[in-house]
Amino acid sequence: AQTVTQSQPEMSVQEAETVTLSCTYDTSESDYYLFWYKQPPSRQMILVIRQEAYKQQNATENRFSVNFQKAAKSFSLKISDSQLGDAAMYFCAYRIFGNEKLTFGTGTRLTIIP
Amino acid sequence: GAVVSQHPSWVICKSGTSVKIECRSLDFQATTMFWYRQFPKQSLMLMATSNEGSKATYEQGVEKDKFLINHASLTLSTLTVTSAHPEDSSFYICSASTGKGLSYNSPLHFGNGTRLTVT
Protein backbone atom coordinates (compact mmCIF):
# COMPACT_ATOMS: atom_id res chain seq x y z
CA ALA A 1 0.00 0.00 0.00
CA GLN A 2 1.11 3.49 -0.71
CA THR A 3 1.78 5.77 2.21
CA VAL A 4 2.65 9.43 2.42
CA THR A 5 4.48 10.82 5.44
CA GLN A 6 4.87 14.41 6.50
CA SER A 7 7.18 14.48 9.50
CA GLN A 8 6.60 18.12 10.42
CA PRO A 9 3.19 18.64 12.06
CA GLU A 10 3.89 22.37 12.38
CA MET A 11 6.28 24.85 10.85
CA SER A 12 6.68 28.57 11.15
CA VAL A 13 8.57 31.11 9.10
CA GLN A 14 9.14 34.83 9.14
CA GLU A 15 7.37 36.76 6.46
CA ALA A 16 9.53 37.12 3.32
CA GLU A 17 11.75 34.21 4.35
CA THR A 18 11.97 30.77 2.79
CA VAL A 19 10.58 27.58 4.27
CA THR A 20 10.76 23.95 3.18
CA LEU A 21 8.10 21.38 3.99
CA SER A 22 9.07 17.72 3.90
CA CYS A 23 7.25 14.78 2.40
CA THR A 24 8.26 11.20 1.87
CA TYR A 25 6.26 8.42 0.33
CA ASP A 26 6.41 4.72 -0.05
CA THR A 27 5.47 2.98 -3.27
CA SER A 28 6.51 0.14 -5.49
CA GLU A 29 5.14 1.87 -8.57
CA SER A 30 7.34 3.57 -11.13
CA ASP A 31 4.71 5.82 -12.74
CA TYR A 32 2.92 8.18 -10.42
CA TYR A 33 2.15 11.79 -9.65
CA LEU A 34 2.81 13.91 -6.62
CA PHE A 35 0.94 16.99 -5.47
CA TRP A 36 1.04 19.62 -2.79
CA TYR A 37 -2.32 20.97 -1.70
CA LYS A 38 -2.97 23.94 0.54
CA GLN A 39 -5.93 24.07 2.91
CA PRO A 40 -6.48 27.53 4.40
CA PRO A 41 -8.90 28.16 7.27
CA SER A 42 -11.75 28.17 4.75
CA ARG A 43 -11.04 24.40 4.37
CA GLN A 44 -11.01 24.69 0.58
CA MET A 45 -8.36 22.40 -0.92
CA ILE A 46 -6.18 24.35 -3.32
CA LEU A 47 -3.63 22.77 -5.62
CA VAL A 48 -0.22 24.36 -5.14
CA ILE A 49 2.04 22.34 -7.39
CA ARG A 50 2.30 18.94 -9.07
CA GLN A 51 5.07 16.70 -10.32
CA GLU A 52 5.14 13.76 -12.69
CA ALA A 53 7.45 11.03 -11.47
CA TYR A 54 8.94 10.46 -14.91
CA LYS A 55 10.15 14.04 -15.08
CA GLN A 56 13.54 14.69 -13.57
CA GLN A 57 13.09 18.43 -13.64
CA ASN A 58 11.63 19.85 -10.48
CA ALA A 59 8.31 21.63 -10.87
CA THR A 60 8.09 25.34 -10.15
CA GLU A 61 5.10 27.62 -9.76
CA ASN A 62 6.08 31.20 -9.00
CA ARG A 63 7.25 31.23 -5.36
CA PHE A 64 6.64 27.52 -4.95
CA SER A 65 9.06 24.84 -6.03
CA VAL A 66 9.68 21.23 -5.22
CA ASN A 67 12.74 19.09 -4.66
CA PHE A 68 11.80 15.71 -6.08
CA GLN A 69 14.20 12.90 -5.26
CA LYS A 70 12.72 9.78 -6.82
CA ALA A 71 15.29 7.33 -5.53
CA ALA A 72 14.87 8.63 -2.01
CA LYS A 73 11.08 8.90 -2.45
CA SER A 74 11.16 12.43 -1.23
CA PHE A 75 9.08 15.36 -2.41
CA SER A 76 9.67 18.57 -0.46
CA LEU A 77 7.99 21.90 -1.04
CA LYS A 78 9.92 25.16 -0.87
CA ILE A 79 8.06 28.40 -0.41
CA SER A 80 10.12 31.47 -1.15
CA ASP A 81 9.33 35.00 -0.01
CA SER A 82 6.67 33.72 2.37
CA GLN A 83 3.53 35.80 2.57
CA LEU A 84 0.85 36.02 5.24
CA GLY A 85 -1.58 34.40 2.81
CA ASP A 86 0.57 31.30 2.71
CA ALA A 87 -0.54 30.39 6.23
CA ALA A 88 -2.45 27.12 5.92
CA MET A 89 -2.30 23.37 6.26
CA TYR A 90 -0.22 21.83 3.52
CA PHE A 91 -0.85 18.29 2.36
CA CYS A 92 1.41 16.19 0.24
CA ALA A 93 -0.50 13.76 -1.97
CA TYR A 94 0.25 10.87 -4.26
CA ARG A 95 -1.53 8.93 -6.92
CA ILE A 96 -0.42 6.23 -9.27
CA PHE A 97 -0.62 6.37 -13.02
CA GLY A 98 -3.98 5.10 -14.20
CA ASN A 99 -5.79 5.70 -10.93
CA GLU A 100 -7.24 9.00 -9.84
CA LYS A 101 -7.43 8.10 -6.18
CA LEU A 102 -5.30 10.39 -4.04
CA THR A 103 -3.45 9.37 -0.90
CA PHE A 104 -2.76 12.27 1.42
CA GLY A 105 -0.08 12.83 4.00
CA THR A 106 -0.90 13.92 7.53
CA GLY A 107 -0.33 17.57 6.80
CA THR A 108 1.91 20.37 8.01
CA ARG A 109 0.46 23.49 9.55
CA LEU A 110 2.43 26.50 8.34
CA THR A 111 2.38 29.72 10.33
CA ILE A 112 3.72 32.95 8.89
CA ILE A 113 5.20 35.32 11.44
CA PRO A 114 4.76 38.99 10.50
CA GLY B 1 -13.41 26.61 -14.74
CA ALA B 2 -13.68 23.21 -13.03
CA VAL B 3 -15.83 24.34 -10.13
CA VAL B 4 -17.20 21.87 -7.65
CA SER B 5 -20.07 22.96 -5.44
CA GLN B 6 -20.84 21.15 -2.21
CA HIS B 7 -24.01 21.69 -0.25
CA PRO B 8 -24.72 22.29 2.54
CA SER B 9 -21.57 23.87 3.92
CA TRP B 10 -22.61 22.97 7.41
CA VAL B 11 -25.41 20.98 8.96
CA ILE B 12 -26.51 20.07 12.46
CA CYS B 13 -28.74 17.06 12.92
CA LYS B 14 -30.05 15.00 15.76
CA SER B 15 -28.77 11.56 16.52
CA GLY B 16 -30.67 8.91 14.59
CA THR B 17 -31.62 11.09 11.68
CA SER B 18 -30.16 11.00 8.17
CA VAL B 19 -28.49 13.82 6.32
CA LYS B 20 -27.71 14.17 2.65
CA ILE B 21 -24.71 16.05 1.24
CA GLU B 22 -24.60 17.03 -2.42
CA CYS B 23 -21.57 17.43 -4.62
CA ARG B 24 -22.02 19.06 -8.02
CA SER B 25 -19.63 19.75 -10.83
CA LEU B 26 -20.84 23.05 -12.20
CA ASP B 27 -18.99 23.43 -15.48
CA PHE B 28 -17.77 19.98 -16.39
CA GLN B 29 -18.90 16.40 -16.44
CA ALA B 30 -17.45 14.39 -13.61
CA THR B 31 -17.28 10.71 -14.41
CA THR B 32 -15.70 10.05 -11.06
CA MET B 33 -16.20 11.70 -7.71
CA PHE B 34 -14.46 10.99 -4.45
CA TRP B 35 -15.72 11.42 -0.91
CA TYR B 36 -13.28 12.20 1.90
CA ARG B 37 -13.66 12.58 5.61
CA GLN B 38 -11.45 14.88 7.62
CA PHE B 39 -11.28 14.86 11.41
CA PRO B 40 -10.07 18.01 13.17
CA LYS B 41 -6.41 18.68 12.54
CA GLN B 42 -6.06 15.47 10.59
CA SER B 43 -5.63 14.43 7.00
CA LEU B 44 -8.23 13.60 4.41
CA MET B 45 -9.23 9.98 4.46
CA LEU B 46 -10.84 8.58 1.34
CA MET B 47 -14.19 7.01 2.07
CA ALA B 48 -15.36 5.94 -1.36
CA THR B 49 -15.05 6.40 -5.08
CA SER B 50 -18.22 7.21 -6.94
CA ASN B 51 -18.64 6.46 -10.63
CA GLU B 52 -21.60 7.71 -12.60
CA GLY B 53 -24.19 5.04 -13.15
CA SER B 54 -22.55 2.36 -11.07
CA LYS B 55 -22.16 1.38 -7.46
CA ALA B 56 -19.63 3.22 -5.37
CA THR B 57 -16.41 1.56 -4.30
CA TYR B 58 -15.84 1.89 -0.57
CA GLU B 59 -12.52 1.92 1.22
CA GLN B 60 -11.79 -0.71 3.79
CA GLY B 61 -13.46 0.02 7.07
CA VAL B 62 -16.12 2.34 5.66
CA GLU B 63 -19.66 1.13 6.29
CA LYS B 64 -21.45 1.21 2.97
CA ASP B 65 -24.86 0.88 4.59
CA LYS B 66 -24.19 3.88 6.75
CA PHE B 67 -22.65 6.13 4.13
CA LEU B 68 -24.85 5.79 1.07
CA ILE B 69 -23.40 7.22 -2.12
CA ASN B 70 -25.36 7.86 -5.27
CA HIS B 71 -23.81 9.18 -8.48
CA ALA B 72 -26.92 9.43 -10.62
CA SER B 73 -25.64 11.89 -13.19
CA LEU B 74 -22.39 13.22 -14.56
CA THR B 75 -22.72 16.36 -12.48
CA LEU B 76 -24.10 15.16 -9.16
CA SER B 77 -23.04 12.76 -6.46
CA THR B 78 -24.68 12.54 -3.06
CA LEU B 79 -23.51 11.18 0.28
CA THR B 80 -26.20 10.26 2.77
CA VAL B 81 -25.18 9.63 6.34
CA THR B 82 -27.88 7.33 7.65
CA SER B 83 -28.87 7.08 11.29
CA ALA B 84 -26.20 9.59 12.19
CA HIS B 85 -24.48 9.44 15.57
CA PRO B 86 -22.18 11.93 17.31
CA GLU B 87 -19.13 9.96 16.17
CA ASP B 88 -20.12 10.72 12.58
CA SER B 89 -19.51 14.39 13.25
CA SER B 90 -16.74 15.42 10.90
CA PHE B 91 -15.82 17.47 7.88
CA TYR B 92 -16.79 15.77 4.61
CA ILE B 93 -15.19 16.83 1.33
CA CYS B 94 -15.96 15.74 -2.18
CA SER B 95 -13.75 15.98 -5.21
CA ALA B 96 -14.35 15.41 -8.88
CA SER B 97 -12.34 14.34 -11.85
CA THR B 98 -12.66 16.11 -15.17
CA GLY B 99 -12.12 12.79 -16.85
CA LYS B 100 -9.31 13.93 -19.12
CA GLY B 101 -7.81 10.52 -19.00
CA LEU B 102 -6.12 8.54 -16.32
CA SER B 103 -2.73 9.19 -17.79
CA TYR B 104 -3.09 12.92 -17.38
CA ASN B 105 -1.91 14.46 -14.18
CA SER B 106 -5.06 16.50 -13.85
CA PRO B 107 -5.66 17.39 -10.26
CA LEU B 108 -8.88 16.67 -8.58
CA HIS B 109 -11.17 19.62 -7.98
CA PHE B 110 -12.52 19.87 -4.50
CA GLY B 111 -15.75 21.12 -3.05
CA ASN B 112 -15.71 23.50 -0.10
CA GLY B 113 -16.65 20.74 2.29
CA THR B 114 -19.53 20.11 4.68
CA ARG B 115 -19.19 20.31 8.41
CA LEU B 116 -21.56 17.80 9.98
CA THR B 117 -22.40 18.02 13.66
CA VAL B 118 -24.59 15.31 15.16
CA THR B 119 -26.10 16.16 18.52
**Nearest chain B alpha carbon to A51:** B105
Each residue of B76-106: pLDDT tens digit?
999 999 999 999 999 999 998 876 555 455 6
Q: Which of A35, A98, A106 lies nearest to residue B102, judging by beta carbons?
A: A98
Q: How confident is the model at residue B114 (pLDDT cuts 50, 70, 90)?
A: very high
Q: Which of B32, B42, B105 lies nearest to residue A50, judging by beta carbons?
A: B105
SS (H, E, C) A7-66: CCCEEEEECCCCEEECCEEECCCCCEEEEEEEECCCCCCEEEEEEECCCCCCCEECCEEE
Which residues of A touch chain B, with CB atoms under 8 Å apart? Answer: 33, 35, 42-45, 47, 50, 52, 91, 97-107, 109
Q: What are residue B80's phi and psi, to 5 degrees?
A: -110, 120
Most trustworthy range by pLDDT among A25-34, A72-81, B19-28, B51-60: A72-81
Chain A CB contacts of B41 below 8 Å = 107, 109
- The answer to whether B107 contacts chain A (CB < 8 Å) is yes
Each residue of A60-113: pLDDT tens digit?
999 999 999 999 999 999 999 999 999 999 999 999 887 888 899 999 999 999
Q: Report the distance separating Cα B59 and Cα A112, nearest Å.
A: 36
